[in-house]
Structure 1
Amino acid sequence: MGTALLALGLVLIVEGLVYALAPSLVEQMLEVLRQMPPEARRILGFLAILSGLVLVWLAKMLGA
């Protein structure tokens, strides 16, 4: 449970930094996402999940 809270906290920190430091970049990214077909967004989402799982697994293997 502690690892999940740590991961969630880190995600919120990174997300918050993007919104705080580069709000116009967020708007540009949303516009690009709007122009992508739903299938491409779905694949992008699955790739993000897979990347996150790999990073969590690596962190666990390194003793986090």
Structure 2
Amino acid sequence: MKLLITLIGLVLVLEGLPYVAAPESMQRWLHQIATMPPHLLRRIGLIAMVLGFCLCALAQKTGFFD
């Protein structure tokens, strides 16, 4: 449970960082995302999920990150 809470906290820090560092750029970027077709957003989300899963699997199953 401690690891889960730590990971959620880290995700929140990483998600909030661009808003603190460059809020104007984030507004422009979010506007661009809002105008993208849903199928493209779905594809980008799926790719991000697969990459994230692969990174997690790599970190857990190998000694690569030790």
TM-score for both structures, normalised by structure 1: 0.77
Gaps of 5+ in 1: none
Aligned length: 64
Indicate the percent of aligned positions where both proteins have the same amino acid.
34
Cα RMSD for the two superposed structures? 2.0
Query: Does 1:6 find its partner at 2:6?
Result: yes
Report the residue type matching 2:10 in the other structure: L
Report what 1:25 is aligned to.
25
Larger Rg: 2
**In 2, Cα distance between the equivalents of 1:47 and 1:25?**
23
- Relative contact order: is structure 1 or structure 2 higher (C-alpha 8 Å, sep ≥ 6)? 1
TM-score for both structures, normalised by structure 2: 0.75
**In 1, Cα distance between the equivalents of 2:3 and 2:43?**
26
Q: CA deviation at 1:56?
A: 1.0
Report what 1:57 is aligned to.
57
